Amino acid sequence: MTNCIIASTSTLHGSQPLEYLLETLEELYQGQDEVLFIPYARPGGITHDEYTIGINNIFKKINKRIVSIHMFSDAQEAFKNAQGIYTGGGNTFLLVDQLYRNECIPLIRDAVMSGTPYLGTSAGSNICGLTMQTTNDMPIVHPPSLKTLGIVPFNINPHYLDPDPNSTHKGETRETRIKEFHNLNTQPVVGLREGSWLKVEGDKITLGGNLTARIFEKDKTPYEIEPGSSLSELN
């Protein structure tokens, strides 16, 4: 049975990475000792090794070890024994490009669909949607496709930001960009504010955290849903 946490962000302002999610993660990875980390979204600044060590230090707090996919010579091998998966944030174009190059898309999907617990934050959440077309990131690389895992039957917009009513900036607001997406695409988009996550358990999808989320459906006025709401019927 699918068992996923799809979070808007790894880190909340003024707190440590994943701190606000630790209890949720203890429940998600219950019974597992080791989590397979996917650091591919990180565009530099720190190496995959450093990124992995940082994540391991966090997961230690809930008594889990991290192994990272970049430590295996063969991605297939890494997934064969994966007890749990965590895909971290960074740049979604880079993440998706690396997933395609390393032929990981079907491997992650198969693992998740067969019940391996999965955590995504930011870019790692974006890829849980049907496509990565509602990312906020810059196209620093050109992946072969924008199709992603389709763990949920809609798209995710992580780090969702409300328009600033006092702004004099003429660049598009997030809402306008998603509206543009809907001029050419039909799937709903879930705007997840920082601090929110989706919990996927089998066919059940629920909004976690204390904030409302903003739902965008083609040709409908966007609307808010309350924490704890079901999104199982959204598609």
Distance CA 119, CA 4 (A): 6
Decide: is 105 part of the binding site for its own copies (CB under 8 A). no
Q: Which of 154, 158, 119 is nearest to 135 (CA)?
A: 158
Which residue, 13 or 221, is less far from its own copies as judged by CB?
13
**How would you class 100 by CB atoms within 10 Å of its CB: exposed for 0-12, middle for 13-18, buried for 19 or more?**
middle
Decide: is 141 part of the binding site for its own copies (CB under 8 A). yes
Distance CA 89, CA 23 (A): 20
137 carries an active-site annotation = yes
The 200-219 contact track toward its own copies, x by CB under 8 A, reads --------------------
Site for its own copies, residues 26 to 55, rule: CB under 8 A? 43-45
Choosing from 110, 172, 201, 224, the residue that interacts with its own copies (CB under 8 A) is: 172
Which residue, 31 or 165, is less far from its own copies as judged by CB?
165
Q: How far is the CB of 159 from its own copies (least distance, A)?
A: 4
Choosing from 23, 31, 165, 169, the residue that interacts with its own copies (CB under 8 A) is: 169
159 carries an active-site annotation = yes
Choosing from 51, 79, 154, 181, the residue that interacts with its own copies (CB under 8 A) is: 181
Choosing from 62, 146, 211, 225, the residue that interacts with its own copies (CB under 8 A) is: 146
- Contacting positions for its own copies (CB under 8 A): 9-14, 43-45, 90-91, 93-94, 132-142, 145-146, 158-159, 161, 168-172, 177-181, 183-185, 194
